[in-house]
Structure 1
Amino acid sequence: MWLQVSLLCLSCLTQTQQAQDRASLRRSNDHTGRCHYSFTVPSPEESSCSGGSMKPEMDGVSSRLTLLEALVTRLLAGEDGGAGTGPRAKGEEEVQEAYSQVTRERNQLQQDKELLSRQVQELQRRLAELSQEAETLSQRPCQQTHTSGAKQRENRPASDPAYDLGNGAYQEMKAEVTEVPASQLIPEGSPNFTGCGELQSVGDPVLHKKADSITGKYGVWLQDPEPQGPNYNNKTVWRIDTVGKDVRQVFAYEDMDQLSQGFPMKVLVLPEPMESTGATMYRGSLYYQRKRSRSLIRYDLTSERLASRLELPHAGFHGQHPYSWGGYTDIDLAADEQGLWAIYSTNTAKGAIVISKLDPESLEVKRSWETNIRKNTVANAFIVCGRLYTVGSYTAPNTTINYVFDTATGMGRAVSVPFKNKYRYNSMVDYNHAQRKLFAWDNFHMVTYDIRLGKASNSSS
């Protein structure tokens, strides 16, 4: 349609141009002396300018112009109002939209490709750095680790509440590394082996079971070193998940194999709720701290009844004097070769650890010792052969047993025995003197550590 209009207009312009080529301009003076201009265009068909023949020509031109205007009006109206309604125009719009979408997707894919390329380059750079660092470390000779108190403070993680240099609760200790002669490491079975001595080393943790729910984040698991009664023996494993508002369930497993498979043989329900991870097993009874109190409870496993109850005099409870990891670990009960113990603190002791020897039947305090190490600066504690040992950190993978207090002499000092928190959140450490092992609950994982004791001293508790 546009081609026809263009040809028509071109024809009109051509005729106009040809007429202008034959036009003439004349100039003359009239009788008064004024100049007159005459412009003459010859007619293409007529040789004279008779008025009667001009009107049909003008009518023809006028009709053609009217026809041309109508044609242009129709063309413009069809282009503006009806172009988008035809199937061809609709198809063109769909193709254009699809092309635009493909273009956008291509641009997005290009951006994703560039981002992944940058990430790959960053990972390659980090891998190269780590490889270089590993090579450097492998070529560096091993050095003796300095075990000063300042070094222990540097190795303690910032998340440890005791790692606050401005806090008066932090007590700097100087660790001493003492070389032990081989003659003092008496093997079991030797005539000189008495069964008790100072802790010399702790082995790597051995995994026995991983808890499978959030309630197993931390808890207590034990074997009774001196079982009583016909129902349970020294192979029976006891487990208590201590996450929750009302901790009462005690799971009994026939042995370690049944524990690892998750098949308890019995579930006991305590008459009073338990608080924290300070419970212990000894001579057929479960000893634990009642929730939100300083009351100690002895629960008889054979009769499944509460056998004794006693308030531990002046003991802090429910977050007053916990270990550095928290967890309301104010009162920690322990058993060793010499009997039943309580590890806690009082306001009179100003947060320092207090050790009390308890009567296993009545829970009465027989004797107490006050140490010179603050309870909230250590992660945990246990007692072996009448000696208190504290663990420096509950999260550091390589920490130390950093302090020992001997109840036989009433003296305490800093030590440095390597200890591993393999799973980075050790909330319970307890000693089993029958197996000469430490039982621990490390971030859902129930593990044991073999320990080695030195030559027994001649002192008695």
Structure 2
Amino acid sequence: MRGLLILLGLACLAGAQHQALIDYLERRLLAIEDRISLWHEQVTRYASELRELKQQMLFQLENLDKEKEMLRVNLEGVGTRVERVERELDYLETQNGAQPCVDVDQELIEQQVTLVQEKHKTKYAKLTDCSDMISTIKAMKILKRVGGSKGMWTRDTGGGSGKVFIFNGTDADTIFEFSSVQDFTRSQGLSESRRLKVPSAWSGTGHVVYNNHAYLVTRGDEVTLLKYDLRNPAVADSVVFPVQDQVPVYGLSPETAVDLAVDEEGLWAIYATRQAETHISLAKLDAVSLDIQQMWDSNCPRENAEAAFVICGTLYVVYNTRQAGRSRVQCVFDVNDMVSADDAPLVYFPKRYGAHASLKYNPLEQLLYAWDDGYQILYKLAMKKKLEL
């Protein structure tokens, strides 16, 4: 009997412990369910917030697209207005342009070279009866784009064979030759040209081709003019340019120390010195010996000058801005006193790519051979007669 009571007691105790365990497990499950329910609520809330954020972002993106389209339309409208204003300014420039800087033959400057000093005392003797001056630019033709942003191209300005010569860059020693303008235009590039290697690298873009010779400007301790025979490739002559304390001739083309030019009268040199640092000077050269025959100071400023050329003994200086805009002839100097202030042209070039690295006049064709940001351009000039004072 006693043993039975013990067994019953143990059974009751085991039942109580089992119930306690079940109660504990039920409480843990309820707690887990509560946590799961809380996590579910949080996930649902986060998902809702993310949907709201997505909607807001889509709305913002739609607004940005609309604003972008409005900005594009506005910019197109501004571009149209700018083009219209530019056309109006171009028209106003041709009607009421800035007064050109015109000067006539001044007293001849003092030089260190005795021969040059003697030649200063005489009046310039014209070689021809040429009395043409620019009226306007009649037409423009873009032929090609070869080479770098700066260079020079031309035909033989003395007649010769009509070949085309390319001087690529401001520091090189290879001249590229084409048999004609048509061959140059049809070519695939400089690789199809005949190459002439000169013994010294040239400097700047101030070279010319005249009577089957290339006249080059080289720089070392001194500025040297090099005469190179193109028919029998060799140096025919070279001289040190007899001007002391030179500075770059153009404010916008610092690589060019001397700019050679050819017109109906022959060979010229455009240069600048420290003594007359703010203005450009002009010299007449003997094309055979390279001697300086006569020299002048002009009143044309160097500042913002990009290039120049000579026609019938008249120097035309072309100006621009450092942020390349529209080139214009704004200063004229005539060595024969045949250009008045009222008659001097104010010529604007058609707006193209940047600024002219070189402008070379061909008197046989009355064309300007221009190099503009790697483009080779021809300008056809319309002429009129000078009015002698």
Q: TM-score range, shorter-chain basis?
A: 0.7 to 0.9
Q: Supply the AA of the counterpart residue of 1:345.
A: A
Structure 1 residues 283 and 73, CA, compared in 2 at 3 Å: closer, same or farther? Answer: same
Matched, 1:311 2:260: no
Structure 1: segments with no counterpart, 5+ residues: 1-52, 84-92, 153-172, 176-193
1:457 Cα deviation after fit: 6.1
Aligned counterpart, 2:69:
120
Aligned counterpart, 1:262:
188
CA contact (8 A) 2:339 2:387 kept: no
The CA distance in 2 between the partners of 1:276 and 1:111, in whole Å, is 56
Aligned counterpart, 2:225:
296
1:371 Cα deviation after fit: 1.1
Structure 1 residues 289 and 57, CA, compared in 2 at 3 Å: closer, same or farther? Answer: same
Aligned counterpart, 1:155:
none
> Could you say which structure has the greater relative contact order, defined with CA pairs below 8 angstroms and 6 or more residues apart?
2
Matched, 1:253 2:183: no
Structure 1 residues 321 and 138, CA, compared in 2 at 3 Å: closer, same or farther? Answer: closer
1:341 Cα deviation after fit: 0.5
CA contact (8 A) 2:308 2:316 kept: yes
Aligned counterpart, 1:65:
20
1:389 Cα deviation after fit: 0.7
For 2:142, what is the secondary structure of its paired residue? strand
The CA distance in 1 between the partners of 2:255 and 2:87, in whole Å, is 43
Aligned counterpart, 1:239:
166
Residue identity over aligned pairs, in percent, reads 21
Matched, 1:440 2:367: no
For 1:203, what is the secondary structure of its paired residue? strand
The CA distance in 2 between the partners of 1:210 and 1:134, in whole Å, is 25
Aligned counterpart, 2:355:
425
Alignment match of 1:336 (pick from 259, 263, 267): 263
Aligned counterpart, 2:118:
none
1:75 Cα deviation after fit: 8.2
1:85-107 deviation digits (Å, cap 9, x = unpaired): xxxxxxxx9xxx99999998887
Alignment match of 1:386 (pick from 291, 313, 316): 313
1:347 Cα deviation after fit: 2.1
Q: Supply the AA of the counterpart residue of 1:208.
A: L
CA contact (8 A) 1:397 1:420 kept: no
Q: TM-score, normalised by structure 1?
A: 0.63
Aligned counterpart, 1:147:
97
For 1:205, what is the secondary structure of its paired residue? strand
CA contact (8 A) 2:261 2:268 kept: yes
CA contact (8 A) 1:290 1:296 kept: yes
CA contact (8 A) 2:327 2:355 kept: no
Alignment match of 1:199 (pick from 126, 131, 134): 134
Task: Say what the alpha-carbon RMSD is for the aligned residues.
Answer: 4.2
Structure 1 residues 106 and 316, CA, compared in 2 at 3 Å: closer, same or farther? Answer: farther
1:70 Cα deviation after fit: 4.4
Alignment match of 1:226 (pick from 151, 158, 162): 158
For 1:420, what is the secondary structure of its paired residue? coil
Q: Supply the AA of the counterpart residue of 1:312.
A: F
Structure 1 residues 415 and 249, CA, compared in 2 at 3 Å: closer, same or farther? Answer: same
Q: Which moved more, 1:292-301 or 1:308-317?
A: 308-317
Matched, 1:284 2:212: yes
Structure 1 residues 225 and 118, CA, compared in 2 at 3 Å: closer, same or farther? Answer: same
Structure 1 residues 126 and 77, CA, compared in 2 at 3 Å: closer, same or farther? Answer: closer
CA contact (8 A) 1:284 1:300 kept: yes
1:105-160 deviation digits (Å, cap 9, x = unpaired): 887665444322210022223445666788999999x76732235xx8xxxxxxxx
Q: TM-score, normalised by structure 2?
A: 0.74
Structure 1 residues 240 and 130, CA, compared in 2 at 3 Å: closer, same or farther? Answer: closer
The CA distance in 1 between the partners of 2:33 and 2:386, in whole Å, is 112
Structure 1 residues 58 and 254, CA, compared in 2 at 3 Å: closer, same or farther? Answer: same
The CA distance in 1 between the partners of 2:358 and 2:69, in whole Å, is 42
1:402 Cα deviation after fit: 1.2
For 1:198, what is the secondary structure of its paired residue? strand
Structure 1 residues 316 and 257, CA, compared in 2 at 3 Å: closer, same or farther? Answer: farther
Rg (Cα) greater in structure: 1
Structure 2: segments with no counterpart, 5+ residues: 1-7, 37-42, 104-128
Q: Supply the AA of the counterpart residue of 1:262.
A: Q
Q: Supply the AA of the counterpart residue of 1:124.
A: V
- Decide which structure has greater strand share: 2
The CA distance in 1 between the partners of 2:144 and 2:54, in whole Å, is 50
